[in-house]
Structure 1
Amino acid sequence: MQMKSGLFTSESVSDGHPDKICDQISDAILDACLAQDPVSRVAMETAVKGDLLCLIGEITTLAEVDFEAVARDVLRDIGHDGGRWGVDPDRIRILRQISQQSPEISSGVSQTETGAGDQGMMFGFACTETPELMPLPIQLSHQLMRRHRDLRLTGVGQSLGPDAKSQVTVRYEDGRPREVTHVVLSSQHARDLGLNDLREILREEVAIPVLGDWITGNTVFHLNPAGSFHVGGPQSDAGLTGRKIIVDTYGGYARHGGGAFSGKDPTKVDRSGAYAARQLARDVVGRGWASGCEARVAYAIGVAEPLEISFSVTGTEAPEALYREAGVDLADLMRPRSVIERLNLRKPRFRQTATFGHFGQANFSWEMPLVSSA
């Protein structure tokens, strides 16, 4: 569950990466539905390539949403305006194929006791490597991409394009991170920005301010290692909702149940169950019961009570027993309705989760304490 010794690598991607464009559009549509109808049922998928954007899925809502306008606004927010970086929101062709949720699924979910919107298993993880209780490699990778985004809004970074990727390799010794051994940063850029100047910006304005003392004399930088990166985003690669599930979670450091998050309303336990499992793992570590915790939960479609709630931990006795001693009913806490209400998941808040990780960001409700300390 936790690294003992050796190297571990995680990656992140920018808000202008094609897959992340799609995640943001799917979640922006979800938010637009929830803003008008908090019990909207949404399973929204987005695909983009070149000047074609496709909106497909199932939506059952009383909300009246201009889906195309939402998608175009997301593209503008990312920095695609006037076609400078290859996408023109005003000219992109948008195809839409959206139906209502299957009545059989709707019936199973819409019980007095809300049933799970799907079957599956979800994993949550937390550890003491960072103040955010996240693994260091993925947290640093996200921070690099946040810094890249912020830099694009300044004069220094105006020649950086929206599409970018980061990757950080950390050396572990005796279970603790010791140094960053490799840093990979690739950024789309304007044609009038030379490769050497670009690499200096990425090193001096992105990597060094973020990584600080984690950089040593042994750290190797790969800055746009493939060379120039003028054509990016959907002009270069197709994008699809839900294709960055490891970036969205723990960077491969912990297990993943396989379900994507973006575009799904909270009755879909792929999303809400994973958020609740993160809160549970975070609570175990936050209480000092363990230095690392993986929480697991499993559901059956249409059934409210979880099939499994279990833990793998480092440095404690079984959390199940400790929670019982504290008077905490885990099965009740992890029922879909309980999760939705506790984490306030009917609010339109999901687009902000679609970039730089669904975990480790302090303003998310699942990053808050689960219950008062025993």
Structure 2
Amino acid sequence: MCRTGRSTPSPRRSSTRCRGGSPPEADDGPSSSKSRHPPPYPGPVRRGLNRLVYDSSGTQQTNPGAAQSSARLGRLSVAHDLRLFSSESVTEGHPDKICDSISDAILDAMLEVDPDSRVAVETVVTTGLVHVVGEVSTRGYVEIPRIVRRRLMEIGFDSSEKGFDGTTCGVSVSIGEQSPEIADGVTESLESRSSGGAIEADDRAGAGDQGLMFGYAVRETPELMPLPIALAHRLARRLTEVRKDGTLDYLRPDGKTQVTVGYDENDIPVALDTVVISTQHNPGVTHEQLETDLRREVIDPVLAAEGLPDLDVTSLKLLINPSGSFVVGGPMGDAGLTGRKIIVDTYGGMARHGGGAFSGKDPSKVDRSAAYAMRWVAKNVVAAGLAERVEVQVAYAIGRANPVGLYVETFGTGTVDRKVIEDAIRKVFDLRPAAIIRELDLKRPIYGPTSAYGHFGRTDVDLPWERVNRTADLRAAAGL
């Protein structure tokens, strides 16, 4: 294990992380005599932890399998001498995530019958009612109320005792047709209209809207995601797993997780400070039972699976249902709306966000497809060894095929000049909307699984924008 600060100043990260382990699948870069440049991303070590032991306040007392605290921590208080960064996740039974899930289920159904469907679907849920609105153009037909009810049942809202029943709730649908003016701008781009028709195929399709999209990758986890959001998603997924497989059958679908990680002066994660879990449950479940069961079945397995070889956990605080009883949840507890968890969906607040939500939108909407492309770009840049951490931005004008802007920030961690990375991206990646859709094969019904537990860094599903398949091209373009 190696942590080496870099001399280049950085607004957030100015460090090089050296960790062993298996790399993500990637094509090998061309050989180079410039040995000062690191090889493609090697990946961090993955080691298991022994079971954690806590006192009644939720503070860990012993952890025989954990690595010793970093020498730089010494006797200093984690809370007072490290910068603490937090990210949250929610389960698929959270009201806003119910809406994302329904919107993406409708999108997938429409792409199944017509891959060229134009879809912009929003969902609202409240006590006893689901309302679906939006604009759609498709050559096929789908039974939206049936899709809604099936998805609610799959999530686990299958009984009035849980506050919401997918078989008996009201479902209303208000779907119109996509604006013909927007449709025309997507079908015939500004470049196409200006050229008189003699134009490359990928220049013919314009962006479905103006906007800016960000992509991000950092060498903190094997999937090149920020550690706080990666852990928060794993805890949320595990909550759902133990509920659905009957391990903790008294749990209900709604739930939230939050993870606070301590970063040192070089912006390296060195300590796990706080884990918060709030989960809906049946009446009569005691807080003591919930704490014991969640520690054993959710928290311990997630932390053990992650390994956390570089993190100090001696001051870890666990807060489980800190508000007390959580029986009333889901749409009965709060109304939900598509697109209200955009930070959960992306990088947990570690990177900037252009503001556009993803769920319910077909890939002609650059809010979604270009954000996916930017993650693909960023992940390959880091995997290629061009930077330890990178954020990339792209911007579009409605009806125009070519992006109006591309911005690259490496926060002082680049191994080559920032302009070299930008030029390499322009050379290797075609960021016109039609090219993105083709390269990532986005006209398929693949969006349902992304509606909960994050769109990026997923280890449980194969998503095309997570593939590390352009590293050799990037290194060659950068002269490495």
The residue number in structure 1 matching 2:275 is: 183
Structure 1 contact 279–370 (Cα < 8 Å) conserved: no
* 1:61 pairs with 2:138: yes
* Structure 1: 5+ residue stretches without partners: none
Secondary structure of 2:279 counterpart? strand
Secondary structure of 1:106 counterpart? helix
Deviation at residue 329 of structure 1 after TM alignment: 4.7
Secondary structure of 1:279 counterpart? helix
The counterpart of 1:153, out of the listed 244, 249, 266, is: 244
1:236-315 matches, cutoff 5 A: 236-313=333-410, 314-315=412-413
The counterpart of 1:349, out of the listed 440, 446, 460, is: 446
Deviation at residue 21 of structure 1 after TM alignment: 0.3
Amino acid in structure 2 at the alignment position of 1:253: M
1:187-206 matches, cutoff 5 A: 187-206=279-298
Structure 2 contact 278–322 (Cα < 8 Å) conserved: yes
Amino acid in structure 2 at the alignment position of 1:41: R
The residue number in structure 1 matching 2:255 is: 164
Amino acid in structure 2 at the alignment position of 1:132: E
The counterpart of 2:326, out of the listed 224, 229, 237, is: 229
Secondary structure of 1:216 counterpart? coil
**Could you tell which deviates more after superposition, 283-292 or 213-222?**
213-222
Amino acid in structure 2 at the alignment position of 1:21: I
**Could you tell which deviates more after superposition, 315-324 or 348-357?**
315-324
The counterpart of 1:103, out of the listed 175, 180, 200, is: 180
Amino acid in structure 1 at the alignment position of 2:247: V
Return the TM-score normalized by structure 2.
0.75
What is the rounded CA distance, in whole Å, between the counterparts of 2:253 and 2:167 in structure 1?
18
Structure 1 contact 11–168 (Cα < 8 Å) conserved: yes
Deviation at residue 33 of structure 1 after TM alignment: 0.3
User: Number of paired residues?
Assistant: 372
The residue number in structure 2 matching 1:9 is: 86
Deviation at residue 309 of structure 1 after TM alignment: 1.3
Cα deviations by residue, 1:178-232 (Å, 9 ceiling, x for unpaired): 1110110000001132121011112221112212455622111110000010010
The residue number in structure 2 matching 1:116 is: 207
Amino acid in structure 1 at the alignment position of 2:267: G
Q: Percent identity?
A: 48
Cα deviations by residue, 1:240-287 (Å, 9 ceiling, x for unpaired): 000000000000000000000000000100000100001111111010
* 1:361 pairs with 2:463: no
Structure 2 contact 380–471 (Cα < 8 Å) conserved: no
Secondary structure of 2:349 counterpart? coil
1:5-84 matches, cutoff 5 A: 6-84=83-161
* Structure 2: 5+ residue stretches without partners: 1-10, 15-81, 189-200
Secondary structure of 2:316 counterpart? strand
What is the rounded CA distance, in whole Å, between the counterparts of 1:341 and 1:203 in structure 2?
44
Structure 1 contact 2–253 (Cα < 8 Å) conserved: no
Deviation at residue 327 of structure 1 after TM alignment: 8.6
Structure 2 contact 359–451 (Cα < 8 Å) conserved: yes
Secondary structure of 2:275 counterpart? strand
The counterpart of 1:91, out of the listed 160, 163, 168, is: 168
Amino acid in structure 1 at the alignment position of 2:223: E
**Could you tell which deviates more after superposition, 83-92 or 61-70?**
83-92
Cα deviations by residue, 1:321-349 (Å, 9 ceiling, x for unpaired): 2464699254xx10000000011100001
1:315-330 matches, cutoff 5 A: 315-316=413-414, 317-322=416-421, 324=423, 328-330=427-429
Structure 1 contact 35–348 (Cα < 8 Å) conserved: yes
Root-mean-square deviation (CA, aligned residues, Å) is 1.6
What is the rounded CA distance, in whole Å, between the counterparts of 2:142 and 2:287 in structure 1?
43
| Structure 1 residues 93 and 220: alpha-carbon distance in aligned structure 2, compared to 1, 3 A threshold | same
Return the TM-score normalized by structure 1.
0.96
Deviation at residue 42 of structure 1 after TM alignment: 0.2
What is the rounded CA distance, in whole Å, between the counterparts of 2:295 and 2:425 in structure 1?
49
| Structure 1 residues 294 and 63: alpha-carbon distance in aligned structure 2, compared to 1, 3 A threshold | same
| Structure 1 residues 254 and 324: alpha-carbon distance in aligned structure 2, compared to 1, 3 A threshold | closer
Secondary structure of 1:328 counterpart? helix
What is the rounded CA distance, in whole Å, between the counterparts of 1:341 and 1:83 in structure 2?
44
What is the rounded CA distance, in whole Å, between the counterparts of 1:219 and 1:259 in structure 2?
35
Which one has a bigger Cα radius of gyration? 2
Structure 1 contact 138–168 (Cα < 8 Å) conserved: yes
